[in-house]
Amino acid sequence: MKKYFGTDGIRGRVGHPPISADWILKLGWAVGRVLGVENEGRSKVLIGKDTRISGYLFESALEAGLSSAGVDTLLLGPMPTPGIAYLTRALRVSVGIVISASHNPYYDNGIKFFSSEGTKLSDQLELQIEAQLEHPMVTVDSRSLGKAVRVRDAEGRYIEFCKNTFPSSLDLRGLKLVIDCAQGATYRIAPSVFRELGAEVVEMNVNPDGFNINENCGSTFTQPLAERVRAEKAHAGIALDGDGDRVIMVDHTGCTVDGDELLFIIAKWYSETERLSGGVVGTAMSNFGLEVAFKSAGIDFLRSAVGDRHILEMLKKNAWNLGGESSGHIICLDANTTGDGIVSALRVLAVMCFTERSLQELKQGMTKYPQTLINVPIGSRTNVIDHPKIKTALLAAESQLKGRGRVLLRPSGTESVVRVMVEGQDRMIVEAVAEELAEIVKQKMGSEEKKGSDLKC
């Protein structure tokens, strides 16, 4: 069992172990020690970050820890997570390190890693790093200390990579797009990509100050984007999250197009143009309407556990090339090795250009089942399903749906909340069942709940 690593690296509140300067310093050293053994000599690591204020602190701590273990460091500065995955491969380094808490507020932060192939680290390597953390920190001889260098052209490299994933026979001329960069890592890169491909770009939330990342903006809060799209009479809106690995879009009427719908649009195009390798991977949270739509289109569909790590594992196992989550993590393995918000948006825009159809028209092939998601904050990540009364309530909730829906109850892998998700054909029943189950979870495990529901467009 891992002590620190979760489904998406290590994440928590800044200043609280393990997300503290002294612990991150030792983490850098532990990674460096493991890499030294693995590579039988000098290793090189790159570090990128999003725009939250604590990124400066942890960038320095990691650099010092790695240097003390004799590892050289390439510093990218603010860079989207998928850009770090790409540059880890392109620059032929041993490991890529991301300092980010993704869609979380500024006061959280985290560390996640990419292997030299741009994929998540293996469980074995993560366990080796955790084991090394138990040893006293010892600095190598001064002659063997690692060096640190700033990569000055990192942004330009990733911009060109993104542009090259767009079909060379198409461009974005004639499209007006509103881009919400969530005050995060894509604030300079995303507008450049879409503008250089020919689009008229209206920028939103491109002035990060270290504290405003994801604050009432981006992929988790699309209402301001929808309003701006309507006001600008734009063809579409693109909402990225703080580290750029998620995307949610808005059609020209202001209706949200979530990750499930985007995945459907891309998959159908892939299938029709013979780009789809096998089928598509979703997760336990994917809307049942997506499964129905794929069945109708003759596209195989599998569900993995929640998290892009699990999606990637299932894609590799089946030799497929497309998967994603309703949250907007979409993995196009024919382009990048991880979820990439910019690349995924470009895939959807390519379909719009190729078919000459609007985003609203393209999503019509999938009918979403009414779904309600309620996040119930809890004090610890205990397995709530083991609680007898919650287990009984879960069975009762499933019974109320009478086989015409489904219930999912799971602790988040990134936040101290339990996600209560209910979906079915009847919206009123779905909402009532979700509220009732969430109340029981709240009484037994948590405090105040946070509710969300799909947009009724």
Residue 137: predicted pLDDT: 97
- For residues 37 and 370, the model is more confident at 370
Residue tagged active-site, from 102, 286, 304, 326: 102
Q: pTM to 2 decimals?
A: 0.88
Helix axes 288-297, 259-272, angle to 10 degrees: 10
Per-residue pLDDT tens digits for 365-407: 899 999 899 999 886 656 677 788 888 888 889 888 877 778 9
CA angle (248, 309, 323) in 5-degree steps: 50
Average pLDDT over every residue of 273-301? 94
Please give the share of the chain, as a percent, with pLDDT higher than 70.
Answer: 94
Per-residue pLDDT tens digits for 394-441: 888 988 887 777 898 888 766 778 889 999 888 999 999 999 999 998
Nearest Cα neighbor of 53 from 114, 111, 113, 105 is 105
102 given a catalytic annotation: yes
Q: Report the alpha-carbon distance of residue 75 to residue 188 in Å, rounded.
A: 17
Res. 266: pLDDT tops 50: yes
Distances 260 to 95, 176, 269, 341, 382 between C-alpha atoms, Å: 31, 24, 14, 14, 29
Per-residue pLDDT tens digits for 146-179: 999 999 999 999 999 999 999 999 999 999 999 9
